[in-house]
Chain A
Amino acid sequence: MRNSFLKTFTSLVGTYFLFQSIILADEIPIGPNGKPNLNGVWQVMNRANFNLEAHSASAAMQLVEGPVVPLPHPDILALGSVGSVPAGLSVVVGDTIPYKKNALKKRNQNREDWLNRDPEIKCYLPGVPRATYMPYAFQIFHSEEAVFFAYEYAGATRNIYLDYPGEPPVDSWMGQSWGYWEGNTFVIEAKGFNNQTWLDRSGNYHTENLKVTERYTLLNDHVMDYEALIEDEEIFTRPWKIKMNLYKKVGDDAQLQQFKCVEFVEELIYGEWRAK
């Protein structure tokens, strides 16, 4: 009888603490103006930068015909497994990107000529939404009067206007961003892009008519839900959406490092004009 009581008591206490820890884990930290606190160093843990759509692992981003199966392009060959591509699930809601017929043809041409065409290879600014899911971290600085994104890749930055800034006065690589809160979700409307950035390494692209509406929703202190609605009626049959998790770095990892890659591509871009 006494043992049974103890067991029940212990079980109830255990359940209580487990329940409490789940509640605590789901608590959303409060930041400036009573809104969820977005501050921190964030990064995805997915393969979206390789390809937004579902893909198997493959030997390289750019392949050439082989005697039996496709082989890595000769310019990637020396990298061996380092130049290969890991598998990834689709982050596109509905699985595939709704390209118009001719636009899909261009996407496929981009893919076949990846080495020459992907702006990431030349360390160009990544644009939006690609900056979010590159395999590099970014830090959000969130205060009462400003929200600012600093990206590790290429030292890209993005000031989020909190008052409507009007139409973008000029096209740019990172576009113009206007942010506001809808309940506990921080919404950013970004437009004013040029047509030079891509959406991933697989040739998915956009035109200068791109508009991206991002939604950042904290799920708890360490995980944020990220959605981006992509509109570009010139090449897509309808608006479409990507969705993924962002993870917050903690402890010693929570420090944004620097990856200013411009100097690393000087030989690639300017090498042919060096003095012999």
Chain B
Amino acid sequence: MGNGVQNSFLIFITFITATTVFSGEYSVKKTWFGDPDLQGVWTNASLTTLERPDHFKTLEITDEAAEYAKKASEEMTENLDNPYGQGETPESGGDVGGYNVAWMDPGNDFIRLNGKYRSSIITYPENGKLPRRLTRWAIEGPSIYRMFTRADHPEERSLGERCIVGFGSSGGPPMLNVLYNNHYQIVQSPGYVMIMVEMNHDARIVRLNSEHNPNEMRPWLGDSIGWWEGETLVVKTKNHHPQQKFRAAIRHQILMMEGAEVTERFTRTSENEILYEFEVDDKKAYRDVWKGEMPLRATDEKIYEYACHEGNYAMANILAGARAEENQ
């Protein structure tokens, strides 16, 4: 290589480097087989809920409003840990409560995107609410009611209680934050992106540049195929499991009817963040599509085994308790 060529090459490299640095654009690392690298352990724990609470009027909220809401959340957590006040205990026969905060991982901040706090995960419709088709929700109402009030049969209870998949739509798609166990591990291999959902140790395997399996196959977490659009992983999921029709958690309740399609987009925006966007198209349960976005944040925390079914004494006790009550 002559000196002239060498100098031109150096100038070119300097220009590229300077452009990258000054433009502030993040250059996504590539895997050993050349795909953009999404790998790592991520969390979507956040105080921001799927739908916008009524006291917020806009998607983006001020720092002051977010701080105020955070304080309210901290107070609620304190009350959960000490419902009778610091050091106080309930009287005999009183309610001892359920989980305390040691069991929870609800996040301690609101979603922040483009430097602004968010009041909801939903970005469309613009009011931040699910565009529910009320007739459908009314039809599904009785089984939803039974899920929380009846203990006749294990199959009536929620999937989280049954230890089949995580509460709500933790495993997704769309993958939504819940009260605890909000971690995901992504590992890539040629032709696949594997997303391990902490709750309930579910490996969602996205087949790249593939076709959907026959409609007769309706796996838990649906049938996901994907492809790359530039540095964005696009995942399309359909054929959701019929028993995953209603997904309930404290922080969200959604319907996902037969025929629903979910499109997700994963874009790594920095070493520590993936922008996770989704669109739900379910004409049976909603009047319109609905869209959302949130960051998946990198974490150094380890994911421990979420063995649920193996120690599910609660299900036996819920059913046995109901039978005992009937016999009184």
* Contact pick for A124, options B205, B303, B309, B323, CB 8 Å: B309
Main secondary structure of the interface of B (DSSP, over half): mixed
Cα–Cα, bound, A39→B33 (Å): 12
CA distance A269 to B319 in the complex (A): 11
A21: CB under 8 A from chain B? no
Q: Are A274 and B153 in contact (CB under 8 A)?
A: yes
Chain A residues in 8 Å Cβ range of B164: 260, 262-263
**Cβ A157 vs Cβ B310 within 8 A:** no
B interface residues, how many (CB within 8 angstroms): 44
Max chain B Cβ within 10 angstroms of own Cβ: one of A32, A148, A256: A148
Tell me the dominant secondary structure on chain A's binding face: loop
Give the residues in chain A near B322, CB-CB below 8 Å: 273, 275
Contacts of A173 in B (CB 8 A): 305, 307, 310
* A165 interface contact, C-beta 8 A: yes
> Cβ of B326 < 8 Å from any Cβ of A?
yes
Q: Would you call B194 an interface residue if the criterion is a C-beta within 8 Å of the partner chain's C-beta atoms?
A: yes
**Known contacts A124-B309, A263-B155; can you find 4 more A-B pairs with CB under 8 A?**
A141-B189, A148-B194, A155-B202, A172-B307
Q: Does any Cβ of A come within 8 Å of B31's Cβ?
A: yes
Interface string of B152-175 (1 = CB under 8 A from A): 111100000011100000000000
Q: At the interface, yes or no: B237 with Cβ under 8 Å from chain A?
A: no
Contacts of A148 in B (CB 8 A): 185, 187, 194, 196, 203
Q: Could you say which of B32, B189, B194, B309 contacts A262, with CB atoms under 8 Å apart?
A: B309
B residues in contact with A169, CB < 8 Å: 304
Tell me which of B152, B192, B304, B305 has the highest count of chain A C-beta atoms within 10 A of its own C-beta: B305
Indicate if the CB atoms of A270 and B315 lie closer than 8 Å.
yes
B213 — which chain A residues lie within 8 A by C-beta?
A: 255
Residues B205 and A150 in contact, CB atoms below 8 Å apart: yes
Within B286-304, the residues touching A (CB, 8 Å) are: 302-304
Chain A residues lying within 8 Å of B202, measured Cβ to Cβ, are 155, 157
B155 engages A159 (CB within 8 Å): no
> Are A275 and B205 CB-contacts (below 8 A) given A125-B310, A172-B304, A174-B305?
no
Task: Say which size band chain A's interface belongs to.
Answer: 35 or more
Given contacts A148-B194, A260-B220, contact A270 B305 (CB under 8 A): no
Measured in the bound complex, the distance between the Cα atoms of B194 and A255 in whole Å is 13
A270 to B304, CA, bound (A): 27
Residues from chain A with Cβ under 8 Å of B207 in the complex: 255
A270 and B203 contacting across the interface, CB-CB below 8 Å: no
B107 contacts the other chain (CB 8 A)? no
A169 to B39, CA, bound (A): 24
Report yes or no: B32 in contact with A274, Cβ–Cβ below 8 A.
no
Would A31 and B205 be within 8 Å (CB), given that A145-B39, A196-B310 are in contact? no
Q: Are B194 and A150 in contact (CB under 8 A)?
A: yes
**A/B interface sample: 30 pairs, CB < 8 A:** A39-B190, A124-B309, A124-B310, A125-B310, A139-B194, A143-B32, A143-B39, A143-B187, A144-B32, A145-B40, A146-B39, A150-B203, A150-B205, A155-B200, A155-B201, A157-B201, A157-B202, A172-B305, A173-B307, A174-B305, A255-B207, A258-B220, A260-B220, A266-B154, A270-B316, A274-B152, A274-B153, A274-B319, A275-B322, A275-B323
Contacts of A142 in B (CB 8 A): 189
CA distance A63 to B196 in the complex (A): 40
Is A256 within 8 A of B205, CB to CB? yes
